[in-house]
């Protein structure tokens, strides 16, 4: 019995090809059943995320089954034979190693991301429910999850946020803990503000106030975020009650000055206030950061923190690979 893996991901195929092979989560079990019905295939698991679609199979004749599966997929999706160039093919221990790397986040677009672990687990569960797994794939996936957990526990591969938005959210959580009691004000309805505010909302921010020179745009963004639009002249009143301010207006000069914040301090009872300035030129006067309870971060600082996290994660790759190799060496998996 051979273990094989056939797949394509963000490195081997453009999005227009990936989307043709993508399988929606509710259909994963069904897709596994279809593959398991192919000649020579005894077990099958289909993993599909926005960046990859992979087919893990146990078959009597590995090479032959790979060829048959490719043909079946091309036929089913109505693609030309050249589309097979986007596939990667792996057998035996190479396939097991690949799955461990995927589960550990080492093969992801954002190195070390944690979402993939849950997605692979979901795919395996769907195949298990569909009855398309057996001695080979059950053992492989269960061991891969163990290895993935060990990699994340024993290294810092998932430490630190790697995007500006996530860095800002992590900082907000470091200041306020759970964001469910935190209120956010967006100054300027730009794309970066929207993304950062969305990240805060996804982590439970209590309410969002949007203000913009064009009130209509503020209303649009407020509606999209489930927040409240505020006229630009009134943002100073809102400052008295919010905890986080995200600013990205296109103004050529500072919008928020030290005097603005000083005026609001007493009404705020000197509670901590977090300013995220992602505008260039900056919207918030650096002197604001000198106020005791204010934490001010501009785009350069946030970008630098994200880059440092990315570099830190890259430095962890070798340790992660060593853990995977040594764990796999202990396992003696069937089909490898």
Task: Decide if residue 164 touches other proteins (CB under 8 A).
Answer: no
Query: 279: closest CA among 201, 187, 183, 210?
Result: 187
45: β partners: 56
Task: Decide if residue 34 touches other proteins (CB under 8 A).
Answer: no
Task: Decide if residue 177 touches other proteins (CB under 8 A).
Answer: yes
Task: Decide if residue 297 touches other proteins (CB under 8 A).
Answer: yes
Task: Decide if residue 207 touches other proteins (CB under 8 A).
Answer: no
Task: Give dist(CA 285, CA 251) in Å, integer.
Answer: 12
* Of positions 88, 145, 215, 295, contacts other proteins by CB under 8 A: 295
In the range 134-163, which residues lie near other proteins by CB under 8 A? 156, 159
Task: Decide if residue 275 touches other proteins (CB under 8 A).
Answer: no
Task: Decide if residue 240 touches other proteins (CB under 8 A).
Answer: no
Residues taking part in catalysis: 50
Give the residue with the Cβ less far from other proteins, 269 or 330.
Answer: 269
Task: Give dist(CA 311, CA 298) in Å, integer.
Answer: 20
* Of positions 269, 329, 330, 332, contacts other proteins by CB under 8 A: 269
The DSSP line for 115-138 is HHHHHHHHHHHHHHHHT---HHHH
4: β partners: 57, 91
Q: Two tokens at 238? A: 């809102």
Task: Decide if residue 315 touches other proteins (CB under 8 A).
Answer: no
**Which helix or strand (DSSP H or E) is residue 278 part of?**
none
Query: 100: closest CA among 66, 54, 133, 146?
Result: 146
Please report, to the nearest 10 degrees, the dihedral formed by the alpha carbons of residues 80, 83, 85, 87 taken in order.
-140
Give the residue with the Cβ less far from other proteins, 38 or 287.
Answer: 287
Give the residue with the Cβ less far from other proteins, 124 or 275.
Answer: 275
Which span (17-25, 229-237, 297-305, 323-331) binds other proteins, by CB under 8 A?
A: 297-305
Three-state secondary structure call for residue 54: strand
Task: Decide if residue 331 touches other proteins (CB under 8 A).
Answer: no
CB 304 within 8 A of CB 145: no
Which span (36-44, 110-118, 172-180, 229-237) binds other proteins, by CB under 8 A?
A: 172-180
Task: Decide if residue 268 touches other proteins (CB under 8 A).
Answer: yes
CB of 193 to other proteins, least distance (A): 21
Crossing angle between the packed helical segments 215-225 and 191-202, to the nearest 10 degrees? 30
Task: Decide if residue 175 touches other proteins (CB under 8 A).
Answer: yes
Task: Decide if residue 114 touches other proteins (CB under 8 A).
Answer: no
Q: Would you put residue 261 in left (φ > 0), alpha (ψ -120 to 50) or beta?
A: alpha
Residue with tokens 């006229």: 231
Give the residue with the Cβ less far from other proteins, 37 or 311.
Answer: 311
Task: Give dist(CA 211, CA 231) in Å, integer.
Answer: 6
Give the residue with the Cβ less far from other proteins, 2 or 285.
Answer: 285
Count of residues interacting with other proteins (CB under 8 A): 22
Give the residue with the Cβ less far from other proteins, 159 or 318.
Answer: 159
Binding residues (CB under 8 A) for other proteins: these are: 156, 159, 171, 173-177, 266, 268-272, 289, 292-293, 295, 297, 301, 305, 308
């Amino acid at each position: 019995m051979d273990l094989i893996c056939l797949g394509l991901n963000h490195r081997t195929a453009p999005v227009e090809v990936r989307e043709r092979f993508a399988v929606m989560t509710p259909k994963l079990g069904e897709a596994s059943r279809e593959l398991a019905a192919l000649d020579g295939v005894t077990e099958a698991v289909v993993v599909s995320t926005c960046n990859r679609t992979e087919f893990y199979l146990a078959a009597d004749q590995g090479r032959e089954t790979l060829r048959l599966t490719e043909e079946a997929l091309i036929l089913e999706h109505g693609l030309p034979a050249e589309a097979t160039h986007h596939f990667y093919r792996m057998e035996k221990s190479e396939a097991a190693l690949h799955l461990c790397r995927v589960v550990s986040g080492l093969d992801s677009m954002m190195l070390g991301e944690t979402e993939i672990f849950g997605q692979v687990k979901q795919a395996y569960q769907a195949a298990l429910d569909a009855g398309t797994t057996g001695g080979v794939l059950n053992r492989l996936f269960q061991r891969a999850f163990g290895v993935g957990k060990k990699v994340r526990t024993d290294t810092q591969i998932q430490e630190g946020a790697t995007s500006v938005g996530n860095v800002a959210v992590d900082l907000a959580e470091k200041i306020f803990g759970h964001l469910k009691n935190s209120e956010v004000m967006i100054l300027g309805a730009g794309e970066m503000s929207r993304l950062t505010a969305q990240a805060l909302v996804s982590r439970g921010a209590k309410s969002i106030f949007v203000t913009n020179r064009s009130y209509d745009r503020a209303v649009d963004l407020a509606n999209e975020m489930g927040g409240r639009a505020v006229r630009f002249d009134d943002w100073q009143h809102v400052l008295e009650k919010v905890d986080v301010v995200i600013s990205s207006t296109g103004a050529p000069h500072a919008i928020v000055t030290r005097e603005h914040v000083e005026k609001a301090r007493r009404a705020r009872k000197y509670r901590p206030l977090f300013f995220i300035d992602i505008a260039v030129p900056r919207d918030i006067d650096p002197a604001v950061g000198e106020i005791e309870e204010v934490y001010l971060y501009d785009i350069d600082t946030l970008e630098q923190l994200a880059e440092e996290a990315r570099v830190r994660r890259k430095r962890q790759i070798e340790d992660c690979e060593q853990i995977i190799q040594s764990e796999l060496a202990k396992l003696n998996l069937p089909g490898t």
